[in-house]
Amino acid sequence: MDSALAPANVDSVPLALNGATHAPSQTDSVLKNESVSENRGEAVKTNLLGLNRKAMEEYFRSIGEKPFRASQLLQWIHQRGTDDFAAMTNLSKSMRGYLTEHCEIRPPEIAHVQYASDGVIKWVLQVDATNRIETVFIPEEGRGTLCISSQVGCALNCSFCSTAQQGFNRNLSVAEIIGQLWVAQRELGRERRVTNVVLMGMGEPLLNFNNVVDATDLMMDDFSYCLSKRRVTLSTSGVVPALDRLGEVSDVSLAVSLHAPDDGLRNELVPINRKYPIKELLDACKRYIGTEGRRKVTIEYVLLEGINDSPAQARALGKLLANVPSKVNLIPFNPFPNSRYRCSSPETIAHFSEIVQKAGIITTTRKTRGVDIDAACGQLVGKVNDRSKRHFRLQAIE
């Protein structure tokens, strides 16, 4: 094994689904004032942007209103992009006054925007005084994909990902997750729309379980963004207990960051594999998609020169996935400062793809987009006030 692959300490990864590092869902907390914001010197207000249908209905019941108000508010906030209660003309004047006094619609603030030569847009969003996240819009013919973040930094430590090198600060709230979609829709206007959402930005979505589920509920709600389950994709490095739990409450499309055909290599590239090895992960994938024959798990595989891109590894990958309803998405590695890896050559990528396809598995190669503004896969960094101190340890090593 390449000695440059420094293993991370997976035992330090916070894996408890409801532990101290994981904020309760807005559905559970709306009546406990945990979905509120507070400005110094001003009254505490509930941020309605972060409430899914169930939480919104609970909120209106708590103030003595009919639950159907939830559908009205969801449409105003998410379909019309309104953040002014006074403009919600199908609500009574007294209701608009109450909401103005006690509530708000507050998305993350845009710190700055970058535009790539290929049409990709990256928003850097301020989520609190010291932390920023990044959100990327990728336009294509007939579709527009938004790549959103679920954490400030990442609690995991995949060695080929720039986000991981920034360390970890906290989970994003529901409002901060769905707020990325809200901001993008507002900024894009009516001529360009988000048709697909991928949770492939900063963070491990399944380590922010409740808030991610509530946010994806909003994405698929008929009174919010009306996205089908096939157009909302959650990408995970393989938190197996959370993946099983996800199958009980959601049916979003699933992508898995595999990146190696065997445990020995994956233990070093994706350290969480030491806790949940490949067989456990793929078994969980099969449980998630169940018996619905048309559904497939997307297997993500970043190609690293001389590390995981040999013909033998391609054959091993094909054999590994023989009984898993899946398709493979090969991802050319995108460099970032102080990275120890290089991207496989186009010829190597093409040959790898050919071998996997001959094994009977649909295989595509992701086109690199937004690389001139560091918006490509694995390049998102934001600004992380690192509580894990990983960033400083890496600096010391360098």
| Dihedral angle computed from the Cα positions of residues 387, 392, 394 and 398, in that order, rounded to the nearest 10 degrees | 170
pLDDT at 39: 52
Say if residue 351 is in the same domain as residue 339.
yes
Say if residue 192 is in the same domain as residue 94.
no
Q: Please give the tally of structural domains in the chain.
A: 2
pLDDT digits 0-9 by tens, 133-162: 999 999 999 999 999 999 998 888 887 887
Kindly state the average pLDDT of the residues 179-187: 97
The CATH number that applies at residue 270 is 3.20.20.70
C-alpha count within 13 angstroms, C-beta hemisphere, residue 335? 10
**Which of 104, 136, 166 finishes a domain?**
104
Say if residue 159 is in the same domain as residue 278.
yes
**Which of 85, 104, 123 finishes a domain?**
104
- Token couple for 240: 């197996």
Residue 54 domain-assigned? yes
Say if residue 195 is in the same domain as residue 342.
yes
Residue 10 domain-assigned? no
Residue 211 domain-assigned? yes
The pTM for the full model equals 0.86
Average pLDDT over the chain, rounded to an integer: 85
Residue 3 domain-assigned? no
Residue 11 domain-assigned? no
Residue 6 domain-assigned? no
The residue annotated as part of the active site, out of 57, 134, 176, 268, is 134
The residue that leads in pLDDT, 116 or 39, is 116
Whole-number Å distance between alpha carbons of 255 and 300: 7
Q: For this structure, is 187 an active site residue? A: no
Residue 17 domain-assigned? no
Residue tagged 């010291």 (tokens): 130
Residue 274 domain-assigned? yes
The CATH number that applies at residue 65 is 1.10.150.530
pLDDT at 32: 42
Whole-number Å distance between alpha carbons of 19 and 208: 10
Could you list the residue range(s) of the whole structural domain that residue 48 is in?
Answer: 26-104
Confidence label for 377 from pLDDT (cuts 50, 70 and 90): low
Q: For this structure, is 65 an active site residue? A: no
Amino acid identity, position 66: K
The residue that leads in pLDDT, 16 or 228, is 228
Task: Phi first, then psi: give them for residue 110, nearest 5 degrees.
Answer: -75, 120
